Amino acid sequence: MKRSLWLLMLFLLAGHVPAASADSACEGRFVNPITDICWSCIFPLSLGSIKVSQGKVPDTANPS
């Protein structure tokens, strides 16, 4: 009985913990896929041993 009461009080108190608020001074921004990504650096693209697309630079060896 004591244990049940203890657990009940623990769950009730845990529900009243204030949520953390985000800092208003955050200076993040959303990534612009047209200007912020170097697309020539991403390609060539391969999944395992399957080449998905080619690029100007050589692809690294994939462990297969």
Neighbours of 18 (CB within 10 A): 5
The predicted pLDDT at position 46 comes to 82
Q: Has this prediction a pTM greater than 0.75?
A: no
pLDDT at 43: 83
Residue 51 forms part of a structural domain: yes
pLDDT digit string, tens, across residues 7-32: 777 777 776 666 666 556 777 788 88
Question: Residue 26 and residue 22: Cα distance in Å, rounded?
Answer: 8
Q: Is residue 55 part of a domain?
A: yes
- 58 lies in a domain? yes
Structural domain range at position 46? 32-63
Residues comprising the chain, all counted: 64
50 inside domain: yes
Would you say residue 46 lies in a domain? yes
pLDDT tens-digit readout, 30-42: 888 889 888 878 8
Q: Is 24 contained in some domain? A: no
Q: How many domains, the chain?
A: 1
